[in-house]
Structure 1
Amino acid sequence: MLRNSFVKISLVGVIAAFASLFSVQAFAQDAATLKKQMEQRLPKVDSLKAQGTIGEGNTGYLVCLKGEQGKDVVAAENADRAAVYGMIAKKESTTADLVGKRRAVQIAQNAKAGEMIQSADGKWNKK
């Protein structure tokens, strides 16, 4: 009886270890895929920012400022950012919203001259 309990506990431990391993591998693979997509999109994002068509919002996401131009790029970038913020939030035991707001501060600090940045109070300013 004791041996059966030990075997069950050991089996549960092994299954948990494998699940954890696959979860870490999936996380790394997803992160790598997201990074690649975002790197490929960066020239278009930078171009749209330079034109003043899009700007960096105070929540860590891109915002269309001039009509519909760049809408697809913004949607794709924001979807990837949401996934990244979610991964970071899970790792740090916080929320994706908080991660995004922290990232928005970093983005604003590193923005190029002329790019549109939304301040914490919601106002848009050219850097």
Structure 2
Amino acid sequence: MSTKQSVRRRFLGGGFVSLAIAGGLFVAFGAPTQLEDLLLLSWLAIGGLALVVAAAVERLPLGVVSVSWPRIGAVGLAVLALGSSTVGFVQLLEVSGWVGLLNAVFALGVALILAFGALECWFGGLQIDEDAFVVEA
């Protein structure tokens, strides 16, 4: 399996996991009634959907321009990073004790990893081989 196929397969898995978490939260707690709950479900669903689309299509036509799969994946990872960092900072500010601190550190660490992944996809291979981000014509 090539590096490109590996990256796209990971996008597909991560996208499905994000969508499953959003769906599970929706089923468990019902339709969101507060803005915070709506934002939580939205960033998981939008980020997961973007990753699934990046794994499924080579180019996504948007009007007169088409967006390549690495850029779509970068947007999905950036959305998930933004949401995770928001959750981390909220945990850091609202929850006291070691458990809250550990949750905040974990969420912020995940956000940092996702942000690095988004930058890697957007710029097309800074640390990962450039062949992983080739877009077929």
TM-score bracket for the superposition, by shorter chain length? 0.3 to 0.5
Normalising by structure 2, what TM-score? 0.34
Higher-Rg structure is 1
